[in-house]
Amino acid sequence: MSWFRNRYLSPWKPVNSLDSRLWKKIHSVALLVKSNFTFQISRGCNFSMNWDPWCNGNSLMDFLPSYKFEKKFVNCYTNSSGWALPSSTPLALRFELSGINFAEQPATAWDGSVSPTFATFYLSYFKHLVEVNWHSFLWHKRYSLRYSAYAWMAVLGKLKTVDQLRLRGIDIPAVCYFCDSGNECHSHLFFGCDYSFTVICTLLPELGAFLMRPNLMQTYDYFGSSSHLPNWEKYLCFLVINCTIYFVWRERNTRRFDNVWKSPIEIVAYIRHALLAKVKNWKNFNDLKGRFELDSQLNFTSYRSVW
Ligand SMILES: [Zn+2]
């Protein structure tokens, strides 16, 4: 902290043209998050007298921009009995300062926490966003960035499927590259299509119990709302779904651009290979193997025969 005190005094002090781009950025962010800070001053603290917002959330320059204390720090204007202000201090400032209590030690808190963690800042940064009920399907504890990123785009309908391209004026055949019967769109690919439904049902046979083919959100919710699955098994099911979205989408693109086709069984083998690479390091891997060998839900026995 001392380096910026010596060089810049306070991130709330206005920048000048000679300041670095980094410091200018820090200053602009400091202004944005000013209300998140709470300062507690002590007689010996080196908070900026003029610029740090230690006076009920404001700096002294906010109260009276026309008056500026000459010395830099709070401890320059205190003694053992309290404030030691120069005689030129305006009455308005004296009144404000008389209501400020000194603590034994100075403290800076973020949203009331004197020892905030990364999660504290993270939640604060995104607090203006509405929390969606499907975020745990994608960004669970065991997520894989590559698979979750594609699943995220699929959930939002942002993959460049044929229906999306046609909306943008690109004239290409609407028919699905897999089944050659349905029209390609997100709901068809995940998982209305015979091809993708065969893949996901081979990996998660419980989905075969649906009277009608589940859409993507129903697929997630089936496992997410299950009361008998422990969390680590739900994470695996979400990982299977997300991994399937990635490989189905990749297969769609290789069919379209490279004219190379793989059967559902081949794609399932790729997905199992990718899943095992992730799951083998999980703490519950042995339990997982045991359970899924019993249930044949993710058949590691047949996986071994593939590889
Ligand atoms: Zn299809």
Distance CA 35, CA 198 (A): 54
Q: Which amino acid is at 157?
A: G
Q: What is residue 131's predicted lDDT score, i.e. its pLDDT?
A: 86
CA of 199 to the centre of ligand 1 (A): 12
Q: What is the pLDDT of residue 187?
A: 94
- Token pair for residue 94? 């004296």
Give the mean pLDDT of 41-66.
91
- Residue 31: its pLDDT value, please? 92
Output the CA 256–ligand 1 centroid distance in Å.
Answer: 13
Identify residue 69 by its one-letter amino acid code. F
With cut-offs at 50, 70 and 90, classify the pLDDT of residue 1.
Answer: low
Distance 194 CA to ligand 1 centre (A): 6
Ligand 1 centroid, distance to 179 Cα (angstroms): 4
For ligand 1, the distance from its centroid to the CA atom of residue 187, given in whole angstroms, is 10
How far, in Å, is the centroid of ligand 1 from the Cα of 139? 28
Ligand 1 centroid from CA 151, angstroms: 18
Q: How many whole angstroms from 122 Cα to the centroid of ligand 1?
A: 40
Q: 249 CA distance to ligand 1 centroid (A)?
A: 12
pTM of the model: 0.67
Residue 110 burial (C-beta neighbours within 10 Å; 0-12, 13-18, 19+): middle
According to the model, what pLDDT value does residue 77 have?
A: 94
Residue 173 amino acid letter: P
Mean pLDDT of 105-118: 89
Tell me the CA–centroid distance for residue 268 and ligand 1, in Å. 17
Q: What is the distance in A from the centroid of ligand 1 to the CA of 192?
A: 7
For residue 134, the CA-to-ligand 1 centroid distance in Å is 25
Please tell me the distance between residue 137's alpha carbon and the centre of ligand 1 in angstroms.
24
Instruction: Provide the pLDDT confidence category of residue 28 given band limits of 50, 70 and 90.
Output: very high
SS3 labels along the chain: CHHHHHHCCCCCCCCCCCCCHHHHHHHHHHHHCHHHEEEECECCCCCECCCCCCECCECHHHHCCCCCCCCCEHHHHEECCEECCCCCCCHHHHHHHHCCCCECCCEEEECCECCCCHHHHHHHHCCCCCCCCCHHHHCCCCCCHHHHHHHHHHHHCCCCCHHHHHHCCCCCCCECCCCCCCECCHHHHHHHCHHHHHHHHHHCHHHHHCCCCCCHHHHHHHHHCCCCCCHHHHHHHHHHHHHHHHHHHHHHHHHHHHCCCCCHHHHHHHHHHHHHHHHCCCCCHHHHHHHHHHHCCCCHHHHHHHC
pLDDT, residue 228, reads 87
Tell how far the Cα of 41 is from the centroid of ligand 1, in angstroms. 66
- Kindly give the distance from the C-alpha atom of residue 296 to the centroid of ligand 1, in angstroms, as a whole number: 26
> What is the distance in A from the centroid of ligand 1 to the CA of 110?
52
Q: For 213-231, write each residue's pLDDT tens digit.
A: 899 999 999 999 999 888 8
Give the span between the Cα atoms of 273 and 304, in whole angstroms: 9
Task: Please give the pLDDT value at position 305.
Answer: 34
The rounded Å distance from CA 173 to ligand 1 centre is 13
Compute, in angstroms, the gap from residue 212 CA to the centroid of ligand 1: 16
CA of 266 to the centre of ligand 1 (A): 17
What spatial distance separates the first Cα and last Cα of the chain, rounded to whole Å? 56
Residue 244: pLDDT over 90? yes
Two structure tokens written together for 218: 């129903």
pLDDT at 293 over 60: no
For 268-278, the pLDDT digits (tens) are 999 988 988 88
pLDDT cut 70: percent of the chain above it: 93
Asked if 223 and 207 touch (Cβ cutoff 8 Å), the reply is: no
- Tell me the CA distances in angstroms from 298 to 122, 166, 281, one per residue in order: 35, 37, 16
Distance CA 239, CA 246 (A): 11
Least confident range of 10-24, 93-107, 281-295: 281-295
Q: Which two tokens stand for residue 32?
A: 């944005």
Question: Ligand 1: distance of its center to the CA of 172 in Å?
Answer: 16
- Give the separation between CA 68 and CA 229, rounded to whole angstroms: 64
Per-residue model confidence (pLDDT) at position 42: 92
Share of the chain above pLDDT 90, in %: 58
Q: What's the pLDDT score for residue 300? A: 43
CA of 200 to the centre of ligand 1 (A): 14
Q: How far, in Å, from the CA of 250 to the mean position of ligand 1?
A: 14
| Lowest-confidence pick of 32-41, 66-75, 130-139, 285-294 | 285-294
Could you give the CA distance from residue 66 to residue 81 in angstroms, rounded to a whole number?
A: 27
